Amino acid sequence: MLRYRPSCIMLRLCSYIIGEHGDSSVPVWSSVNIAGTRLRDMCPSAGEDPERDSENWGQLHQDVVNAAYEIIKLKGYTSWGIGIMSAKLAEAILKNQVCICILL
């Protein structure tokens, strides 16, 4: 979802969420890196108090949380995405492939 932000030109994006998707997830705002530049260098208030977060980055995390519930509502479960990505990662490791795995 971060790559769809108008302020992000997606040359290269790296970010982390700790925990499982949904309510237990915690965004690691200090790890967000866009084309080699830390998000906090571009927007120091990212993910902080909503009154200071002028670009509403906190809402982005809420959108990620809600996405899990939307998937469950539409499909009834979320295991396919986890299973497919696990299989792709295992294949890349076993075949010693040089690849980039994009997690949305």
Alpha-helical regions (H) of 6-78: 39-42, 57-75
H/E element, 16? none
Annotation marks residue 21 as catalytic? yes
Beta bridge partners of 26: 18
Q: Which two tokens stand for residue 44?
A: 């120091």
Q: Which of the following is catalytic: 21, 38, 40, 61?
A: 21
Do 85 and 101 meet the contact criterion of CB atoms below 8 Å apart?
yes
Query: How do 26-27 and 17-18 pair as beta strands?
Result: antiparallel
Residues taking part in catalysis:
21
